Amino acid sequence: MVETTLTDATLTDTTLTNAASASAVESTCTDIRRLDPAAAAAHLRAAAEAGRGFLGLDPVTQNDALLAAELARMQAQVFRAGDMLLGSVPNPDQPRQAFIAATSADPEPLRILLGFLDTRQRCNSFVAMVPDGAACAAAFASCGFRQVGVLRDHRYQSGAYQDVIVYHAESGFFASADSEVPCSA
Amino acid sequence: MFGVTVRHFTQADIPVRTALLRESRFQANLTDFAVVAEDDALVAGQRRTIEQEHAVKRIFTLCGPNDQVLGFAWITSIDWRSQTCELSFGVLPEYRGGFGAIAVAAAHDYLRTELNMRVVINQVLEHNTMLHSAEALAAQQRVRCPYDSYTVGEWRTSYYWTTTEDDVRQHHERTETRRREIAERIRARRTA
Amino acid sequence: MMLRGYRSGDARLLSGPWTAGELLGLPVNGRPALVEDAAVEPPRDAAVELCIAPGVAFVRFSELDWTARRARLEIGIQPQAIDAVAMLLKTAVAHGFHVLNLHRLYGWVTPAADPPLAVLGDAGFQREASVPAGNWLDGAAVQRQIWGAVRRG
């Protein structure tokens, strides 16, 4: 299992504390680390309920080997910020759009990820498919995502089919008021 | 469910299951292939199941209230289109008395509510009263196959039956009815 | 109209002048000559069920999730058979629900490609989501919709 820190030197808590945004200073996030598929699978399992539906995966019905294989097949990027997992999968039909996933309601790590994808991977359009009632919906709402649809009976869990809510955001809508992700020189 | 949880079988569980596959009553009750298989082959086969065979075979580890391993359940003959599979069990010798029925129920519950299986095929050898009493086996069985398998020097007769959602619902209703009757009786005795 | 499983002899049905990945892959008029035909691959594993209507179209069930009992539906119709689109879609839905025993079918539809939306409604699909910039078409990011059909009974 391999963990590597994002090489972008701007993604440190020094940057966060320099930002004028009060919520960034209070955030518990200090560090976002990239996970390889095997490590990502292990962390998804540890996330328990919060990991169900992450990038369309389900640790309850898929073992670690299957989760890792699926993440690799999707060319997913998975990151860890403390206990929170973040994921991004490129849209194969539109290179500047990515599908995003998160395992908690904390918006700050999500905001940092979106800024990173925008600045470093030319992503300006983001889609999240969130199981109905999942806690992470609050993180997307805080980052300016708006609901654009409902996929009926898209998942099966705990004996019943469940809907998946589709959210969308564009670059420029998720940056907090005074913070920017500066480019390293 | 009553303290038994179902989780995926991992590499760390392989030694425990390998030992179980070779234990004497297990051999007689299910299959004795493990006795004539080499260590490496047994381990490699289980590892292959974990890493690759998700479409055809899945093994689960059954854990007690303190996360201790009680035994294993595995599904084979998976027909994804029909939502059916065959379920087998191996419970560790020290837990066979207590947790047996609960472990069986927990496995069925997982298959139905998380894997979305609708019909689970149960196969038990006639002499095996480890998890089901002889009377229960005789009552439940729908198909009886003499000479089904040969384990530990004898031909074995096998019982097959299916568990569907309707069966589960009826079982719950019967349990609830029984519980209510007992409660009524206690209440009547108290007021008398 | 009958669907049967794909065989290597059907390979020419897998490509055509379509917008790629659409629920309804219909020939697009006025495409520049340099644009290659869209194509789907022969299936490599059990995650995709590929059927064909002989001589007419492919019907592909991908992103198969047997636990959630859902699949993404894609159809590609050869230019000489576009009149058969309504019948083909209904046949595809029946195959998904009654042969594959799925609970849900969904697909992506790009409005800018001018698909016949009435045909989707007749086959039991509803528009469920409109994703801005979901597809790249003719030099721009365009909206893409998800249409879904859920089996009742």
B188 domain-assigned: no
For residue A106, what pLDDT is reported? 95
What does the alpha-carbon distance between residue A71 and residue A41 come to, in Å, rounded to a whole number?
A: 8
Burial class of residue A147 (count of CB atoms within 10 Å of its CB; 0-12, 13-18, 19+): middle
- The reply to whether ipTM tops 0.85 is yes
Task: Give whichever of A4-18, A49-63, B79-93 has the largest mean pLDDT.
Answer: A49-63
Q: Which residues pair with B25 in a beta bridge?
A: none
Query: Percent of chain B scored above 70 by pLDDT?
Result: 80
Q: Which of A51-55, A122-126, B182-186, C64-68 has the lowest mean pLDDT?
A: B182-186
Q: In this structure, is residue B141 part of a structural domain?
A: yes
Of B25-29, C59-63, C111-115, least confident by mean pLDDT is B25-29
Q: Total domain count for chain B?
A: 1
Domain residue limits, chain A: 3-170
Q: Which of residues 133-172 of B touch C (CB under 8 A)?
A: none
Question: By the CB < 8 Å criterion, does C135 face chain A?
Answer: yes
Find out whether A161 and A155 touch, Cβ atoms under 8 Å: yes
CA distance A5 to A16: 16
Q: Which tokens sit at B167?
A: 């069966």
Distance CA C22, CA C25 (A): 5
Candidates A56, A151, A153; nearest CB to C103: A153
Contact C72, A92 (CB under 8 A): no
pLDDT given at position A8: 42
C6 falls in which pLDDT band (50, 70, 90)? Answer: very high
Has residue B12 been placed in a domain? yes
**Domain contains B150:** yes
For residues A29 and C131, the model is more confident at C131
C49-59: pLDDT as tens digits: 999 999 999 99
Q: Where residue B148 sits, what CATH number does that domain have?
A: 3.40.630.30
Regarding predicted confidence, which is higher, B127 or A100? A100
Q: Quick one: pLDDT at residue A23? A: 34
Q: Give the pLDDT band (50/70/90) at residue B154.
A: confident
User: Does residue A148 belong to the interface with chain C, where contact is any CB pair within 8 Å?
Assistant: yes
Residues of C in contact with A161 (CB under 8 A): 68, 103-104
Average pLDDT over all residues of chain A: 83
- Residue A4 has a pLDDT of 53
Residue B173 falls within a domain, yes or no?
no
- Token duo for residue A36: 């390889």
pLDDT band at residue B138 under the 50/70/90 scheme: low
Mean pLDDT across the stretch B132-140?
A: 68
A19 pLDDT higher than 50 = no
Fold of A3-170: Aminopeptidase (3.40.630)
pTM given for the model? 0.85
Task: Pick the range with the lowest mean pLDDT from A25-29, A81-85, A155-159, B37-41.
Answer: A25-29
Question: Which residue has better confidence, A179 or A63?
Answer: A63
**pLDDT above 90: percentage of residues in chain B:** 40
Residue C137 contacts residue C28 (beta carbons within 8 Å)? no
Residues C83-109, buried b or exposed e (16+ Cβ, 10 A)? Answer: ebbeebbebbbebbbeebbbbbbbbbb
* Count of CA atoms in the C-beta half-sphere (13 A) of B109: 16
d(CA B56, CA B80): 9
* Alpha-helix residue ranges (DSSP H) falling in chain B: 14-21, 24-29, 33-36, 39-51, 100-113, 134-140, 165-191
Tell me the pLDDT band of A185, cut-offs 50, 70 and 90.
Answer: very low
Q: Supply the angle between the helices B14-21 and B39-51 in degrees, to the nearest 10.
A: 130
The alpha carbon of residue A147 is apart from the nearest alpha carbon of chain B, in Å, by: 27
Question: How many Å lie between the alpha carbon of B54 and the closest alpha carbon of chain C?
Answer: 11
User: Which residues are paired to A68 by β-bridges?
Assistant: none
Closest to A152 (Cβ–Cβ): which among C65, C128, C141? C128
For residues B127, B129, B130 and B133, what is the CA-based torsion angle, rounded to 10 degrees? 160
- For residue range C73-110, what is the model confidence (pLDDT) as tens digits? 999 999 999 999 999 999 999 999 999 999 999 999 99
B177 occurs within a structural domain: no
The confidence score (pLDDT) of residue C78 equals 94
- Chain A residue numbers touching B115 (CB-CB < 8 A): 61
| Residue B123 lies in domain | 5-164
B80 touching chain C per CB within 8 A: yes
Q: What CATH fold (topology level) applies to the domain C4-150?
A: Aminopeptidase (3.40.630)
Q: Is the pLDDT of residue C153 over 90?
A: no
